[in-house]
Structure 1
Amino acid sequence: MSSDPVLDSQSDETLLAAYARGERDAARILSRRLLPRVLGQAHRMLGDRAEAEDVAQEAMLRLWRIAPDWEADRAKVTTWLYRVVANLCTDRLRKSGRAVALEAAPEPEDTGPTVAAGLQDRARHMALRAALADLPDRQAKAVTLRHLEELPNPEVARIMGESVRTVESLVARGKKGLIARLRGRKAELGYDDDG
């Protein structure tokens, strides 16, 4: 199954509009993007995988049906879809006598980074940027392309118009330079002596 990078990068709303115009690939990408989240939400609410699959399928069918009439200013696709899943699950729970008062439902666990971790990451990013800016230009460019953009050495060499051997040398010297510039900031940046 090939992937279309242009469609992959589109918003949910753009993909839904493309599906409404008859672009099947948009529906495939949107399903791949949204179905795991919808299924997870339904499973958390219902506690039963088979029922969750039924609800997720019904929610996605409703999304496809509403696609031609979708108004982008109505809501985000995910907001609308999560509301539909919640309503479908609530209906199933009521019918089965398993309904739970909203106040009794547990809060979803926050799995995002803590504020402290976010600040730490920002400090590390700023320190790295400052250290890179202090390197000679070619070394900074080679390190950035190789380790931040994660490009292989031959591609870095093509981009920079250098030989692979030169790129390897620039990266090695650049990394040494970064280590020297950041060495005294380990504690400040939250790295222990072992890291």
Structure 2
Amino acid sequence: MYSDGPAASSRVDDPDADLVRRVGSGDLLAVRALTARKLPRLTALAARVLGDAAEAEDVAQESLIRAWRQAPVWRFGEARFDTWLHRVTLNLCRDRLRRVRPGGPQDLETLVDPGPAPDRGLEARDVGDRVAAAMAILPARQREAVVLCHYQEMGNIQAAAALGISVEALESLLSRGRRALRAALSDLVA
């Protein structure tokens, strides 16, 4: 992943290249800029995968710490820094999900009342809760694929790279994940 030189740098255009170089050289303004640019998306990714806002904040912060440590030795060319950072975040989420913890995504389905919302004004929230519960019961790889493509708005190539799989494998995960979500939310889809 880390190759250097003029031929390598022309292979992948990285919009974060200048900022990462500045972070690597110790520029505190660049650290703040990188944090402002990446923290909200990393937190959102982790929250959707973990189903826990506090855990998500911890994961996003740990991801950025790893980014700061990697910046001085990062060699551009084979992968975008953002793709690597998303992969780090997903791996940290997987590590946390491996630990048995109460209140994790596996317990989200018990938190959602399947009955109608008591107040019509809460309907959108009810739908959001149902979608979150349906996402939580997807197999981890399907959930990650759906989150990266639909919530993080990554293209298939970048999402596949973040997951470390082929584009075809990603498309298969997306297809199965979408099918499972449609089935779980069939009463909402007209």
TM-score by length of 2: 0.49
TM-score by length of 1: 0.47
> Taking CA–CA contacts closer than 8 Å with sequence separation of 6 or more, which of the two structures ends up with the larger relative contact order?
2
| Higher radius of gyration, 1 or 2 | 1
